[in-house]
Amino acid sequence: MLADAVERLPGIADRLRAGGRVADVGCGYGAPTIMLAQAFPAAQVTGFDYHDASVAAARKAAAEAGVGSRVGFEVAAATDLPGGRYDLVAFVDSVHDLGDPVGALARARGALAPDGAVLLVEPPGADGVAGNLTPVGRMFYAVSTLVCTPNALSQGSSALGTLAGPARLSEAARAAGFGTVRPLDADAPMNLMIELRD
C-alpha cells in the first residue's frame, strides 16, 4: 500500500531506487519506515518521532526485520525535523496527531530536495459529519476523540481536530506553503493519500 502510493508520486520512486533520502515523520514504532526501506533497498530511510520509547521500539523492530543496518531512527519533534534535501517526507497516520500540523508541514517543505514530495497518509475522513457516519467513520471518530485529538492538543493549540477530511488537510498544506495538493488514487480504502509539492 505505501510503496504503491510512492510509485504514484511522479519521479519519486525512481529517485529512491537510485539511493534517495526519505524522512518518515511521526514514525511511532517504525512500521512505515521499515516498509519503505524494504520497498526501496537503496534509499536512505530515517524515522523521526518525539517519543523516545517509540524510537527505541522502532530500532528493535528494524533489527528484527533485517533492515536495522540501513534504517535510522531519531528522537525529534515534527516541527524540528533534522536535516534536509529529502526526496520524500512521509507523514503516515501522524499529521492528525500533531499539535502544530501547519508548522510540521512547513518544516517538511523546507527540508525537501528540489522536486521532492511530501506524502500524507491519513484516515479516510469526509469533510462533513454526515459523510463520516459510516461504520469506519464511527470507529475513527471514537479513536480520534479518545486518543489522537487529546494527544495533539497536549502538544499545542492548533490541532486539526477530530477526523479531518481532505478540505481541512488541504487547508493546512496550503497554509504551510505548498502549491500542489493532489489526492492520490491509491488502493487504500482505509486511508486518504495526498501528494504535496511546491
* Residue 154 phi, psi (nearest 5): -70, -20
Q: How far apart are CA 192 and CA 157, in angstroms?
A: 24
Query: Domain containing 17: what range?
Result: 2-197
What is the pLDDT at residue 8? 95
- CATH number of the domain that 77 lies in? 3.40.50.150
Q: How far apart are CA 111 and CA 88, in angstroms?
A: 9
C-alpha grid cell for residue 152? Answer: 495533539
pTM of the model: 0.95
Question: Alpha-carbon torsion 173, 93, 43, 23, what sign?
Answer: positive
Taking CB atoms within 8 Å and a gap of at least 24, the contacts of 194-198 are: 194/119, 194/120, 194/122, 194/166, 194/169, 194/170, 195/8, 195/9, 195/117, 195/118, 195/119, 195/120, 196/105, 196/109, 196/117, 196/118, 196/119, 196/120, 197/115, 197/116, 197/117, 197/118, 198/109, 198/112
Low-confidence ranges of the chain (pLDDT < 50): none
What is the pLDDT at residue 161? 79
128: number of Cβ within 10 Å: 10
Query: Sheet of 44-49: strands edge to edge?
Result: 71-75, 44-49, 21-25, 86-92, 112-122, 192-197, 180-183
Q: Please, what's the largest Cα pairwise distance for the chain?
A: 47
Tens of pLDDT, residues 23-52? 999 999 999 999 999 999 999 999 999 999
Based on the structure, what is the number of domains in the chain? 1
Distance (Å) of CA 56 to CA 20, 30, 101, 130: 24, 10, 24, 40
